[in-house]
Structure 1
Amino acid sequence: MKKSHGPAFRAAQLDLDKCPACRGRAVISGVFHELACVQCSASGWVTAETGEALPLEVLVTQLSIRLQAAEQQIDQLKRPDPVFGPDAQYNDNNRRGPGATNFTGD
């Protein structure tokens, strides 16, 4: 581990695992109603190495990092794939035809 002074410049992503007591649901079944899970502080997440609950400040940061990564992945999947090959000249306007229209060479 590298020695450093002061806080890190970037928050590192910790390995999280679902709480074994509530199985990631954040609640456990009581006799008559559901109760907040005490083992994971009702979050459903624990550290993967130790299985302990994270402090709330760290948990919020870790969940935010995971949410931003998931949103970025969703945005990448929503973007259409660029068209390559012979189809590309028919779909995109190359402005080489008369009146700056599409010229395909056919």
Structure 2
Amino acid sequence: MKKSHGPSFRRELKPLMVCGTCRGATVVSGVFHQLDCAACNASGWLCAETGLALPVEVLVQQLSLKLRNVTAELSRARQSIGGAHEQYEQNNRRGAGGSNFTGD
């Protein structure tokens, strides 16, 4: 059953893009010193759909969701890569006659 009105039940991840004015550095060079970037409210990120700066409350939520997704992806990648023990057990075909050579 789809909702037809009101706020959504879950926060959706909005596509973000790096600010083109400051190139994600959050500051722009003034004549004598660096100034906060006015285009992105000194965050370095813009909404990819509208190209406008996000309010701070929304930006914090979006960056938190993005960080959570990247952390989960990194942990899945670490689990899929085997350690030294798995590499030691596999045949590397570097021994005499294509047998396993462990270097021991």
Same fold (TM over 0.5): yes
Deviates more, 1:37-46 or 1:5-14: 5-14
- Report the 3-state secondary structure (helix = DSSP H, G, I; strand = E; otherwise coil) of the residue aligned with 1:79: helix
Alignment of 1:19-58 (within 5 A): 19-58=19-58
- Report the 3-state secondary structure (helix = DSSP H, G, I; strand = E; otherwise coil) of the residue aligned with 1:35: strand
- RMSD of aligned Cα (Å): 2.0
Q: CA deviation at 1:4?
A: 2.8
Alignment of 1:6-21 (within 5 A): 6-21=6-21
Alignment of 1:60-71 (within 5 A): 60-71=60-71
In 2, Cα distance between the equivalents of 1:7 and 1:68?
Answer: 22
In 2, Cα distance between the equivalents of 1:20 and 1:31?
Answer: 20
Moved over 4 A (4+): 80-83
Q: CA deviation at 1:3?
A: 5.5
Instruction: Report which of the two structures shows the higher radius of gyration computed on alpha carbons.
Output: 1
TM-score between the two structures when normalised by the length of structure 1: 0.70
Q: What percentage of residue pairs aligned between the two structures are identical?
A: 49
Runs of 5+ unmatched residues, structure 1: 88-106
- Report the 3-state secondary structure (helix = DSSP H, G, I; strand = E; otherwise coil) of the residue aligned with 1:75: helix
In 2, Cα distance between the equivalents of 1:81 and 1:41?
Answer: 40
TM-score between the two structures when normalised by the length of structure 2: 0.71
Deviations 1:63-85 (A, max 9, x none): 001000010011111114577xx
Deviations 1:31-60 (A, max 9, x none): 222111011000000111221000111101
